[in-house]
Amino acid sequence: MFKYIGEILLILTAIIWGSGFVASAVALDHYSPYQILAGRFLIGAVILSLIFFKKLNKLKKSTLIKGAVLGIFLYLAFALQTVGLQFTTPSKNAFLTAVNVVIVPFIGFLLYKRKIDLYELTGAVLAIIGIAVLSLKLSSDVNVGDLLTLGCAVGFAFHIFYTAKFVKTEDPVVLTIVQMVTAAIIGCIVVLFRGETSFSMETEGMVNLLYLGIFSTTIAFLMQTVAQKYITETKAAIILATESFWGMVFSVIILSEIMTGRMIIGALLILLAILISETKMEFMKKDKIKSLT
């Protein structure tokens, strides 16, 4: 039962992140990328601390250290993604960010000698192909933006991997609060260092920043952390990779983007990736056994 709770929470997280593409696009008309990062993490830290302040009594040194590690990975990944987007196309940025789905299982193998599940690895590769078909425009050029975005993918991969590892022994809510506070502190320091202290109070900008802070950050990362207590890190990465699919769905619905055959094929490949990693093709094995008998 808990396994399915984890999967449902991660699907909801991916849906929220997908909708966040639209909110980010509008917010960027009013704030700098670094102001958005500082704002969304600050909102998340404040809301979580206010709602779950009683849980902070459980704050241990180990939770503080692990939450800080997650917060650093989280901010670095978002910052590299944001800076990379200034030098590369949005489609390549989205695709290269999603490469984290393939990196995750290899982190476990290289650092902890953890056996790689072939079904999950197959699903991860299929997810990458699906995202490429969904979002990537044909271009062989590689620039600094692409390299920065690949760095972002590594950051997200480590964040997903260590979230799964740390949440096994720590309270997921307290862990989420610490990582939000850490990312918020880093974000505010960066904004002050860059001198971006002038903050727009226009309604449109504030509403979209609040959406990013409340839904894409507070709710989504809390659900991700709780969900990863009950699901493997590779499977989590594959489900979260559907963010690009949901981004396409919301772009079609809200921004009236035209759906193409390539989008449909990419979406089907991503769904097939989840099916393979989730079921390990057990239904095929059962059918095979029945046919032999």
pTM of the full predicted structure? 0.81
Q: Residue 280: its pLDDT value, please?
A: 67
Roughly how many angstroms between the first and final C-alpha of the chain, as a whole number?
32
Banded model confidence at residue 141, pLDDT cuts 50, 70, 90: low
Query: DSSP character for 258?
Result: P
Above 60 in pLDDT, residue 160?
yes
pLDDT in tens, 79-97: 898 888 777 766 666 767 7
Q: Residue 103: its pLDDT value, please?
A: 85
CA 194 to chain centre: 26
Query: Is the model more confident about 214 or about 3?
Result: 214
Would you kindly state where each structural domain of the chain is located, as residue ranges? Answer: 2-292
Banded model confidence at residue 255, pLDDT cuts 50, 70, 90: low
Q: Residue 243: its pLDDT value, please?
A: 78
Q: Which residues contact 239 (CB under 8 A, 6 or more apart)?
A: 7, 10, 11, 14, 231, 274
CA atoms within 13 A on the CB side of 257: 14
CB 167 within 8 A of CB 216: no
Give the Cβ contact number of residue 80 at 10 Å.
22
CB 93 within 8 A of CB 81: yes
Q: What is the mean pLDDT of the chain?
A: 83
Burial class (CB in 10 A: 0-12, 13-18, 19+), 29: exposed
Mean pLDDT of 66-88: 89
User: Quick one: what percent of the chain has pLDDT higher than 70?
Assistant: 86
Q: How far apart are CA 77 and CA 162, in angstroms?
A: 14
Query: Is the model more confident about 61 or about 270?
Result: 61
Flag the least confident range among 43-52, 145-154, 220-229: 145-154
Banded model confidence at residue 26, pLDDT cuts 50, 70, 90: confident
Residue of 192, 198, 88, 188 whose CA lies nearest to 144: 88
Mean pLDDT of 1-26: 81
